[in-house]
């Protein structure tokens, strides 16, 4: 059995299973198990273990005791509800194995190599994606973070205190300590046909709330011609978003809906749907949204309903470091695919502040955020090799 | 001000308001206020007040002290959540006023006239529509009724006990006591263009659960062509149901939906929608369902999803008593409209056991089960007159 298979197996029972998926939310008993595992891995390798004020875990390899900024790798350990096991943990497991590999090769880095595990990357518990890295970069206000509440009404400050983390320590950390950041991640959309690729950018993306308002009424007695049924306009919007995305070569999804009163025998008075849309360029995304909005407005006119579409969050394109992409290509071979992703990552947050790049490992099914998410062990081993190569390149030259 | 306006005003602040709608659930403090009002109305008119084992309230007018079966009128006092004020209470208020009118006319009935207020007609609290009348007729098992639970986990037995009703007394009552039942009700779909009409039947209707299954996946990264998104098939079904209903001159509504995991950034793995469909004949309803099922199955094939459609409840056509309809026409005039309804009623339950008919009062907006449900005071007064005419016809001859 390979070292990857062994180390992977150590966490594969924590917070779920490959068949049922994983529920690994930040600052819970399950995450604490993963934190304990991380600490043990650092200790087993004689790496310096540290937890910073944002509860990011760090394991530092600095055999020469050299000062100066570090080459950072890693990812996150939390999951979406019933998500796959690879999104996040693959980057952390691979980081430890890459250090092992560098040692096996006899590499002595000229600057520190640090492994990071950021907290609450998925935003599954408190609703803010990449919260740990956003706090680190100052992109999210720690005062606001402390008052975020989970679905049980627990504040983030309370959740931290429950594990003896000090909520007062949340906040920006000096990024001058970071020379470069390399995040290895499972690819999430069947975009890779070889084991490993290099990330170029994160697609512009956004979330829009679509509020459809009609007239609540009796499902049995209201004449079809008298109805103002917002469910019809919602259904049209779902299909139109799919069609617009295909037309534009973009991605659009309506995965969340709320209905009032949500009763079998009542025409709803109100339906709210959330649109997630992403595209390779901001102008494509704008075109998609304006085309879709116009079509929905026309349909609402026919349905006798009203619709308002509100942006809840939008993010422009995030390009990774051209210089790092070049050095990855030199190291891994010029034929290595360079590809964008539609997903957000801690690497996307950090890239505004420090040179950043991502490595992707092939996902044969193209499934992510669901139990069927996976990567072959052989591809994961190739990912470890590639990460070791890139870390050697960045930490030794 | 008319006597209708006065009496109507007495309950218009209980459990809501005309602008916000009403939340009048069975066996709650709000319903207890309505029960107190009913009892006071009976007392003010020197009617014999009684509550039976199913918590149906009765007020009996029997000035001659004659024995034998009664002519029963009335309706219910509970509402759907945020429903209108007329659905139910109009029939109870009109019943008291019809007795007043008969007294004013000097009518002495040859058999008892009884006013009934059935409990939990809407099924808003325990999920079973017409529960009071179903228990009375033996159409619902009292043992099962006692264990029904509301959304707070309170059993029906506990709810009853909270108001000193004895759950052990639930069950069938002798229907030989009922000579005829006349339920006056607000019309619910703008089907009446004159103040008062006569009910002919209740449309065949049913509820079907539509389970759409696909593949949960990442909304940002999954290629459009790789998706198996059950929300698309659901949306198609919503629009197709509407179209089929219009084609068949029937009614179809999807007013309730549940999504898993219902997250903005996740393609759902599962969507469940509930279809409410009703038509003038059972064969039309069958045609609607089979046409719709075929279209949805075809679309599911294209979406790479699966769908199963399960009947949760179906009811055939319920015709009211031809003899009573004839007597109503004779009494109210041969030009009085005779019309079916798409809604269920206690009258529909009772009609299988005793001669039953309904009177409808015009609903100018065609809205029901929502705050905008209403009837003009003048039409309600015409309804009281018509009910008095019909009760005189049935109780004196």
SS3 track for A340-385: EECCCCHHHHHCCCCCEEEEEECCCCCCCCCCCCCCCHHHHHHHHH
Give the torsion through C-alpha atoms of B374, B378, B384, B385, to 10 deg.
-150
Q: Does domain A3-203+317-396 have CATH number 3.50.50.60?
A: no
Chain B residues inside the 8 Å CB shell of A82: 216, 261
- Give me the residue from A188, A269, A341 closest to B370, CB to CB: A269
Which run of H or E residues covers position B235? helix B230-248
pLDDT reported for residue A1: 46
Nearest chain B residue to A233 by CA distance is B239
- Across residues A236-240, what is the average pLDDT? 98
Task: Assign B291 to helix, strand or coil.
Answer: helix
Please return the burial class of B266, using the count of CB atoms within 10 Å of its CB with bins 0-12, 13-18 and 19+.
Answer: buried
If phi over 0 gives left and psi between -120 and 50 gives alpha, with beta otherwise, what is residue A213? Answer: beta
- Give me the residue from A261, A263, A368 closest to B217, CB to CB: A368
Pick the CATH number of B205-315 from 3.20.20.150, 3.10.129.10, 3.40.50.10440, 3.30.70.360: 3.30.70.360
Chain B residues inside the 8 Å CB shell of A369: 216-219, 265-266
If phi over 0 gives left and psi between -120 and 50 gives alpha, with beta otherwise, what is residue A292? Answer: alpha
Tell me the CA end-to-end span of chain A in Å, nearest whole number.
33
On the question of a cis peptide bond just before residue A261, with omega within 30 degrees of 0, the verdict is yes
Chain B residues inside the 8 Å CB shell of A187: 221
- Give me the residue from A232, A254, A263 closest to B238, CB to CB: A232
The residue ranges of every structural domain in chain B are 3-203+317-396, 205-315
Decide if A1 touches B, using CB distance below 8 A.
no
- Condensed to tens digits (0 to 9), the pLDDT of residues B332-353 reads 999 999 999 999 999 999 999 9
Decide if A80 touches B, using CB distance below 8 A.
yes
Q: Which residues pair with B260 in a beta bridge?
A: B270
Count how many pairs of residues, chain A against chain B, have C-beta atoms within 8 Å.
Answer: 233
Q: What are phi and psi of B117, to 5 degrees?
A: -125, 105
Contact B264 A245 (CB under 8 A): no
pLDDT reported for residue B151: 86
**Residue A250: which pLDDT band, with cuts at 50, 70 and 90?**
very high
Decide if B226 touches A, using CB distance below 8 A.
yes
Contact A238 B242 (CB under 8 A): no
Contact A370 B217 (CB under 8 A): yes
Decide if A162 touches B, using CB distance below 8 A.
no
Which run of H or E residues covers position B120? none
Check: CB of residue A96 under 8 Å from CB of residue A186: no
How many angstroms away from the CA of A252 is the closest CA of chain B? 7
Tell me the CA end-to-end span of chain B in Å, nearest whole number.
33
Chain A residues inside the 8 Å CB shell of B246: 224
Between CA A129 and CA A137 the distance in angstroms is 14
pLDDT reported for residue B257: 96
Nearest chain B residue to A225 by CA distance is B246
Mean pLDDT, rounded, of chain A? 96
- Across residues A224-233, what is the average pLDDT? 97
Q: From the candidates B81, B82, B128, B222, which should be mutated to test the interface with A, based on the most A CB atoms within 10 A?
A: B222
Nearest chain B residue to A234 by CA distance is B235
Between CA B174 and CA B183 the distance in angstroms is 19
**Residue A127: which pLDDT band, with cuts at 50, 70 and 90?**
confident
pLDDT surpasses 50 at A233: yes
Q: From the candidates A224, A225, A258, which should be mutated to test the interface with B, based on the most B CB atoms within 10 A?
A: A224
Nearest chain A residue to B232 by CA distance is A239
Contact A257 B254 (CB under 8 A): no
Give Cα B273 to chain centroid, integer Å: 22
pLDDT surpasses 90 at A159: yes
Judging by DSSP bridges, how do beta strands B48-51 and A251-260 pair with one another?
unpaired
String of b and e for A348-358 (b: at least 16 CB within 10 Å)? bbbbebbbbbb
- Condensed to tens digits (0 to 9), the pLDDT of residues A293-328 reads 999 999 999 999 999 999 988 889 999 999 999 999
Chain A residues inside the 8 Å CB shell of B236: 235, 239
Chain B residues inside the 8 Å CB shell of A204: none
pLDDT reported for residue A330: 97
Task: Assign B73 to helix, strand or coil.
Answer: strand
Which residues in chain B come in under a pLDDT of 70?
A: 1
Nearest chain B residue to A241 by CA distance is B232
- Give me the residue from A81, A189, A371 closest to B223, CB to CB: A189
Between CA B254 and CA B241 the distance in angstroms is 8
Using CB atoms and an 8 Å cut-off, which of residues 338-397 of chain A contact chain B? 341-344, 366-372
pLDDT reported for residue B1: 46
How many angstroms away from the CA of A279 is the closest CA of chain B? 9
Task: List alpha helices for B70-155, DSSP H.
Answer: 89-104, 131-137, 142-147
Nearest chain B residue to A124 by CA distance is B263
Q: Which residues pair with B338 in a beta bridge?
A: B198
**Non-local CB neighbours of B214 within 8 Å, separated by 6+ positions:** B227, B228, B229, B230, B231, B233, B267, B268, B269, B270, B271, B303, B304, B305, B306
Chain B residues inside the 8 Å CB shell of A80: 261, 263, 265-266
Check: CB of residue A315 under 8 Å from CB of residue A206: yes
Q: From the candidates A218, A296, A344, which should be mutated to test the interface with B, based on the most B CB atoms within 10 A?
A: A218
pLDDT reported for residue A151: 86
Decide if B243 touches A, using CB distance below 8 A.
no
Contact A255 B262 (CB under 8 A): yes
Half-sphere exposure in the Cβ direction for B189 (13 Å, CA)? 19
């Amino acid at each position: 059995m390979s070292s990857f298979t062994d180390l992977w197996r150590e966490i594969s029972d924590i917070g779920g299973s490959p068949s049922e998926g994983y529920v690994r939310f930040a600052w819970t008993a399950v995450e604490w198990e993963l934190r304990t595992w991380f600490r043990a891995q650092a200790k087993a390798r004689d790496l310096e273990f540290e937890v910073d004020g944002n509860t990011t875990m760090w394991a530092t390899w600095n055999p020469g005791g050299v000062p100066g900024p570090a080459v950072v790798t890693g990812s996150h350990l939390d999951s979406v509800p019933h998500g796959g096991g690879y999104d996040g943990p693959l980057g952390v497991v691979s980081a430890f194995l890459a250090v092992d590999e560098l040692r096996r090769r006899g590499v002595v880095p000229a600057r520190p190599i640090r492994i990071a595990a950021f907290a609450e990357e998925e935003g599954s518990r408190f609703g803010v994606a990449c919260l740990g890295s956003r706090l680190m970069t100052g992109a999210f206000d720690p005062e606001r973070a402390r008052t975020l509440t989970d679905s049980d009404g627990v504040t983030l400050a309370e959740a931290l205190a429950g594990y003896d983390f000090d909520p007062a320590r949340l906040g920006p950390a000096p990024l001058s300590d970071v020379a470069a950041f390399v995040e290895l991640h499972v690819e999430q959309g069947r975009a890779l046909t070889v084991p490993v690729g290099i990330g170029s950018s994160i697609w512009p993306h956004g979330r829009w709330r679509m509020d459809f308002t009609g007239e609540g009424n009796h499902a049995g007695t209201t004449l079809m011609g008298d109805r103002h049924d917002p469910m019809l306009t919602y259904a049209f919007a779902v299909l139109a978003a799919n069609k617009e995305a295909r037309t534009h070569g973009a991605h659009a999804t309506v995965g969340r809906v709320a209905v009032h009163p949500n009763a079998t025998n009542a025409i709803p008075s109100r339906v709210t749907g959330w649109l997630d849309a992403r595209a390779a360029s901001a102008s494509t995304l704008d075109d998609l949204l304006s085309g879709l909005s116009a079509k929905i407005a026309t349909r609402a006119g026919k349905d006798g309903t009203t619709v308002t579409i509100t942006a809840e969050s939008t993010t422009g394109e995030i390009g990774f470091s051209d210089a790092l992409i070049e050095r990855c290509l030199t190291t891994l071979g010029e034929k290595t695919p360079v590809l964008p992703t539609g997903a957000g990552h801690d690497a996307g947050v950090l890239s505004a502040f420090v040179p950043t790049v991502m490595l992707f490992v092939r996902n044969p099914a193209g499934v992510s955020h669901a139990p069927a998410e996976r990567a072959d062990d052989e591809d994961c081993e190739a990912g470890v090799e590639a990460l070791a190569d890139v870390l050697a390149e960045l930490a030794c030259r």
